[in-house]
Amino acid sequence: MFSYRHAFHAGNHADVLKHMVLIATLKYLTEKPAALMVVDTHAGAGLYRLDGDYAGKSGEADDGVLKLFKALAQVKPAQAATNSVATLSPVLQDYLDLVGAFNHAGKPKVYPGSPFVIQRLLRHEARDKLKLFELHPTDHNSLEGNIAQLEAGRQVAIARADGFEALKALLPPPSRRALVLMDPSYEIKSDYARVPACMADCLKRFPTGSYMVWYPVIPRPEAHDLPRRLKTLATQAGKSWLHTTLNIGQHADMAQVTMPDEKAPRPGLTASGVFLINPPHTLKAALQAALPPVLEALGRGRGQGFTVDGGG
């Protein structure tokens, strides 16, 4: 427990998919004037340096947000809107603009995690609220420090608590409108069971909420079963759902035979998925338009592709 640090993974292809979906969902939900509560059960540190030690060591952002900016924003992230707006779908443009807003023109150096992505889209006048949970002591401290800079006051609350457990007391929200993001690290196998158990409980407490789950697409039965279990829960509750995956494929050099004294290259995570219950009805078409250029920019070879399915 607690060996996972999101700083190694910030801005990778999985964050690109997750944060694109998150932005699109929030933009839709904040179109209605009534207050929205957003719960981020696994918040992480909130802000990440892409030119720091962690990201530098893993190089994951190089194959994610940095590659995307290079391909689509012509290395001018803050001006992405003026460069390629005519050819990019709104979901992708919104993602580039939001990341660009945390950076000066040029290669992005800072990456906003989900707490900062969400906070940026909340409305003070509507009294939207953000509840953040993070268990890791170091990341919790970083999150508190990062959020303090926003001077967001009572709009944002942070607790060092188990997000799955803490969520129970928040549902249903007083405003009767909520988005819950469940983004565990799946560092411990029990997360794969806790997500659907928590979702079943949420659907009983607050059936009309919107729920979003991220998961890694890896050859593990629990990971494979997770979207199926969520789909069953949605169907049994009579709720609509959306399931999207992005696979950037394997590096061409992964197939090469390595010399006996070389370490085999680590395959790393090549694919991930996001499952939503009660998604915006506009999201399926929006992602179908947004993902082809993302795949074109990030695709590395064998296995690459994306899916967008929905029902209910």
Active site residues: 183
User: Of 90, 92, 89, 96, which Cα lies nearest the Cα of 73?
Assistant: 96
Residue 150 Cα distances to 19, 146, 221, angstroms? 20, 7, 41
CA dist list (Å): 212 to 139, 161, 257, 280, 290: 22, 19, 40, 11, 18
Site for ligand SAM in 113-152 (CB under 6 A): 113-114, 133-136, 139
Cα distances from 188 to residues 13, 156, 226, in angstroms, run 22, 28, 14
Which of 157-165, 205-213, 229-237, 277-285 is the region at the interface with ligand SAM (rule: CB under 6 A)?
Answer: 157-165
Contact between 183 and ligand SAM per CB under 6 A: yes
**DSSP string covering 195-248:** HHHHHHHHHHH-TTSEEEEEEE--S-HHHHHHHHHHHHHHHHTT--EEEEEEE-
CA-wise closest residue to 214 among 269, 273, 167, 268: 273
Tell me: does residue 185 bind ligand SAM (CB under 6 A). yes
Tell whether residue 162 is a contact of ligand SAM (CB under 6 A): yes
C-beta closer to ligand SAM: residue 143 or 254? 143
Which residue is nearest to ligand SAM, using beta carbons? 113
The stretch near ligand SAM (CB under 6 A) out of 86-94, 183-191, 276-284, 286-294 is 183-191
Contact call for residue 60 and ligand SAM (CB under 6 A): no
Which uninterrupted H or E stretch holds 39? strand 37-40
Using CB under 6 A, pick the residue from 16, 24, 38, 43 that binds ligand SAM: 43
3-state SS assignment for residue 49: strand
Compare residues 66 and 254 and give the one whose CB is closer to ligand SAM: 66
Q: Which of residues 11-30 bind ligand SAM (CB under 6 A)?
A: 18
- Does residue 42 belong to the site contacting ligand SAM (CB under 6 A)? yes
Q: CB under 6 A: which stretch of 39-47, 121-129, 217-225, 248-256 binds ligand SAM?
A: 39-47
Nearer to ligand SAM, 129 or 254 (CB): 129
Question: In terms of Cα–Cα distance, which of 153, 110, 162, 111 is closest to 132?
Answer: 162
Which residues of this protein are in contact with ligand SAM, per CB under 6 A? 4, 6, 18, 40-44, 113-114, 133-136, 139, 162-164, 183-185
